[in-house]
Amino acid sequence: MCKGARAAARPLVVGVSVVAQLSISADHVREALEHLYESVPLASCALAQALPDVASIPDVRARAQKLRGLLLDAIELLRPAREARFGSRASRSYDVLNLRYVEGLSVALVAQELDLSERQAYRDLQRAHEELLAILRSYVPGLTHAATPPAAAGQADPLAQELERLVPRPKNLDLAALLRSALEAVAPLVQRLGACVSCDVEEKLPPVSADEGILRQIVIQMLSLAIQASAAVIVRLCALPRRALRLSLEFCEERQPVRQAPLEALMQLAVRQGLQLSVGREGKNVRLCLQVPAVEPHLVLVVEDNEGAIELYRRYLSQSAEWQLVGATDPRAVYDMATHLRPAAIILDIMMPRLDGWSVLQLLRAQPATARIPVIVCSVFDDPELAAVLGARVFLKKPISQFELLAALRRCLEEL
Q: What is the mean pLDDT of residues 20-40?
A: 80
Q: What is the mean pLDDT of residues 49-59?
A: 81
Neighbouring-strand partners of residue 34: none
pLDDT confidence band for 198 (50 / 70 / 90): very high
What CATH number has the domain spanning 171-293? 3.30.565.10
160 Cβ neighbours under 8 A, 6+ residues apart: 148, 151
Whole-angstrom distance between the N-terminal and C-terminal Cα of the chain? 26
Residue range 332-369, pLDDT digits in tens: 999 999 999 999 999 999 999 889 999 999 999 999 99
Q: What pLDDT sits at residue 412?
A: 86
Task: Identify the band that residue 55 occupies on the pLDDT scale cut at 50, 70 and 90.
Answer: confident
Contact 373, 298 (CB under 8 A): no
Predicted pLDDT at 10: 36
* Helix ranges (DSSP H) in 78-174: 92-97, 107-113, 118-139, 158-165
Of all residues in the chain, the percent with pLDDT exceeding 90 is: 40
Q: Closest Cα to residue 369, out of 339, 412, 336, 332?
A: 339
Distance CA 330, CA 167 (A): 38
Q: Exposed/middle/buried for 399, CB within 10 Å: 0-12, 13-18, 19+?
A: exposed
| pLDDT digit string, tens, across residues 381-414 | 999 999 999 999 999 999 888 878 888 888 887 6
Residue 236 has pLDDT above 60, yes or no: yes
For residue 21, pLDDT beyond 80: no
Nearest to residue 61, comparing CAs of 31, 34, 41, 32? 41
pLDDT higher than 50, residue 164: yes
- DSSP state at residue 57: -
Dmax over CA atoms of the chain, in Å, equals 73
Angle at 414 between CA 412 and CA 416, to 5 degrees: 70
Higher-confidence position of 221 and 162? 221
Residue 18 burial class via C-beta count within 10 angstroms: exposed 0-12, middle 13-18, buried 19 and up: exposed
Among 161-175, 323-337, 344-358, the minimum mean pLDDT is found in 161-175
**pLDDT of the residue at 37:** 86
* pLDDT tens, position by position, 65-111: 888 888 888 888 787 655 556 657 767 888 899 899 988 888 888 88
CATH class of 298-414: alpha beta
Residue 9: pLDDT band with limits 50, 70, 90: very low
Quick one: pLDDT at residue 105?
Answer: 86
Strands 171-173 and 208-210: antiparallel
User: What confidence tens digit (pLDDT) does each residue in 238-289 have?
Assistant: 988 767 899 999 999 999 999 988 998 898 888 777 788 889 989 899 999 9
**Strands of 310-362, DSSP E:** 323-328, 345-349
Using CA atoms, how far apart are residues 35 and 174, in angstroms rounded to an integer?
Answer: 20
Interval 136-158: pLDDT, tens: 775 554 444 444 444 444 455 66
pTM of the model: 0.46
Higher pLDDT, 351 or 14: 351
183: closest CA among 196, 170, 202, 168?
A: 196
As a whole number of angstroms, the distance between CA 393 and CA 339 comes to 18
Contact of 113 with 99, CB cutoff 8 Å: yes
Measuring CA to CA, which residue among 63, 26, 243, 30 is closest to residue 137? 26
If one counts every other C-beta atom within 10 angstroms of the C-beta of residue 184, the result is 10
Q: Is the pLDDT of residue 214 over 80?
A: yes
pLDDT, averaged across the chain? 83
Q: Where in the chain is the domain with CATH 3.30.565.10?
A: 171-293
Instruction: Say if CB 67 and CB 37 are below 8 A apart.
Output: no
